[in-house]
Structure 1
Amino acid sequence: MTVAVPARLVKVLGATRLKEPLNATTLAEADAMKWPALGRLKQRIADADAGRPSEGAIAPIRPVQRANIAREAMEWRREVEEECRLLSAGTLTEDGVAFLPIVDLRIDRIAEEDGSDDASLFAHIVSGRATPFASLVDHWLHEGAFAGRTEAAYRQAIRDLTSWCEHTNTPPTVEAITKRVAGQFIRARFIDLNAAPATANKAITALASFWGWLHKRGHIGEVSPWSGQSLSKAKRPDCARDPGEAVKRAFTDDEVATLLNGLTDPLIADFCRFAALTGMRREEIATLRVRHVRSGIIKVPGTKTVSAAREVPLHSDLVSLVDRRITGKGVEDFVFHELPPQTSKARGRGAPITQAFTRQRRKLGVEDRFESERQSRVDLHSFRRWFSRKAQEALEAGGVGFTDWTISDVLGHSRENRPGGMTMGRYAGSSDMKAKRSCIEAVRLPLLSKL
């Protein structure tokens, strides 16, 4: 008798399959002996998964966490469903059924060791009446094809919910998360801990997205329990709020001059100059490869939206900087090669630049933060805002050869989200390279020598 060992337990059990010889002398004797043997092998796997001693040890057995119960039940469920399918198709006889007869034995064992609640959860999952939400997360994220940081944040939201379920003895199943349970989680995880509404709403958005997918794929039939659960930001009296408080803004010309004059790290200085004269996002610059820059054209590797993938001219004031950075490199080498690889999807390749720039920015005195807010109103992205503002100012001052639609094209913003977007976006399409070059060249750095 052999049973396959789940991949995650191969190192624990030291084998890919567990074996137990029956030592039977007749077919009838072997048939009678296989069920107890199969039960013992499955129990060894369950014990290893739960971290319990096996091989019939008499030591007290600690309760199995519900997440482990749910995971084990899903493995049994897949085996049982496959046997039922083969039976229905007539390709398997009753004599060949291995898992159906011992499900009840496993349920009884769980009830004896861990209590009737865990046994009931196991039974409901194996029978298909309940589904652990953790078992569907990978399918949801794969289908959604979310960006790395978004996927990492969404996984964290699911982990938070799973952890809360474990601590509150709530079954970690799709069916158990009702509107009331969702509200209890939000209160315990965010409201009672005085978490910032923005932080709470990011997690709630992730969970609402997951449950929306569950509804779409038929795992739930009712409205999402996360609908309408977002937290409102506490409002303060108008007298307590300055105009524009907490609104991110562009750098001023003086701030740009201060930064580009004062940045001493060559990598940060090059990165910021590039950001100021292209309007590109941090990750677009950080992931730029040599092959993306050809004949004075940057093929921007869009990292956020469909509109983000675009082609823009290289600013004339960046030619020498780019030549210096790509000379002698292969086509797959990064333009900003100094940035180290990141092991977490939550951190983009440009994350170290943000941290280093923030330290330098503060050291140079470029800061704009209200006492009531945690973050400054200026950051690395303010170079992109500055580019947008300078292009618009040039247009308002009589600049020719481009329009405000061109600015959207250069920045990688969707035309269709604006008034008239159907006509100017879907029908008219993107500006030509001549108009984009007029837009790019209209942006000029402030006189850096004036400080």
Structure 2
Amino acid sequence: MRTGIGVATESAATSPAENPFEKDPLPKAPRGKKATAQRARSKRPAFTREDYWKFLDAAQDQEMQDFIKIAAHTGCRISEIMHFRLADVAHDRFTVEDAKSESGWREIPIHNEITSVVERLAAKSTDGFLFTDQNPNKYGQRTARMGKRFVRLIKKVGSYKTGVGAHSFRRALATMMQENGVEEPKAAAIIGHEIGTMTYGVYADSLSFAEKDTIIQGISYRRT
């Protein structure tokens, strides 16, 4: 039951295994424009911890800093973040229920380092969305403004390879899970990627929220 915003429990990461993005976990797609775009997205570079702090330091307002922190600690797509309703946010988790595929329907623990951010955003919302007053377009999409602002921030921070964008925080989170020894199906269950075999699919579905929380709380962007 959703009970409002609060603090998630802290714990350690799980046992070592292969990089969840060493190979593309998505099933093979037919050739064509859609397949080409999918392959391009799967090869987008990951942001580093250094990038994370560069963006935070360069952001000139609280809203952008909040977006960066949530993107980096959840691995959610910008379309998911900007469409989070307060009903999708409990005291310890985000619930994604409008994703691109069945694997994208998931619960993501709220990292201890962003609990206060989520609480503040929820408290000041005036329209039932976590990120309030985003002026949706005629199709009801609320992502355009933040997406354009983040692109400008990337250009401001420095020179990055083609394909870098908010999506690169997903790969950053995946990389850190790999560094912590998180197994591929577990990483995919948190980020919302499909696993191309029934065995892995069943395994990912059986991942408990407590296990997810242990994995998420094991992620850190602390400066070294």
Normalising by structure 1, what TM-score? 0.39
The one-letter amino acid paired with 1:339 is: Q
Q: Which runs of 5+ in 2 are unaligned?
A: 1-31
- 1:387 equivalent to 2:173? Answer yes
In 1, distance between residues paired with 2:144 and 2:56? 20
The one-letter amino acid paired with 1:298 is: F
In 1, distance between residues paired with 2:199 and 2:153? 44
- 1:313 equivalent to 2:106? Answer no
Maintained 8 Å contact 1:409/1:430: no
Counterpart selection for 1:377 from 142, 158, 163: 163
Maintained 8 Å contact 1:308/1:411: yes
| Pairing of 1:239-278 with structure 2 (within 5 A) | 247-278=43-74
Partner of 1:409: 189
CA RMSD of aligned residues (A): 2.6
Instruction: Give the secondary structure class of the aligned counterpart of 1:311.
Output: strand
Aligned pairs, how many? 189
Deviations 1:160-212 (A, max 9, x none): xxxxxxxxxxxxxxxxxxxxxxxxxxxxxxxxxxxxxxxxx54xx6xxxxxxx
In 2, distance between residues paired with 1:326 and 1:428? 30
Percent of residue pairs bearing the same amino acid type: 29
- 1:298 equivalent to 2:84? Answer no
Deviations 1:35-68 (A, max 9, x none): xxxxxxxxxxxxxxxxxxxxxxxxxxxxxxxxxx
Report which structure shows greater RCO (CA 8 Å, sep ≥6).
2
Counterpart selection for 2:209 from 428, 433, 446: 433
Maintained 8 Å contact 2:188/2:204: no
In 2, distance between residues paired with 1:254 and 1:424? 33
Q: Which has the higher helix share?
A: 1
Cα distance change on mapping 1:382 and 1:427 into 2, 3 Å: closer
Cα distance change on mapping 1:328 and 1:270 into 2, 3 Å: closer
| Pairing of 1:47-446 with structure 2 (within 5 A) | 202=33, 247-327=43-123, 329=125, 333-344=128-139, 348-365=141-158, 367-369=159-161, 376-395=162-181, 403-415=183-195, 417=196, 421-426=197-202, 429-446=205-222
Structure 1 stretches of 4+ with a deviation exceeding 3 A read: none
Partner of 1:53: none
Cα distance change on mapping 1:327 and 1:394 into 2, 3 Å: same
In 1, distance between residues paired with 2:203 and 2:215? 21
User: How much does 1:434 deviate?
Assistant: 1.2
In 2, distance between residues paired with 1:257 and 1:428? 32
In 1, distance between residues paired with 2:163 and 2:222? 21
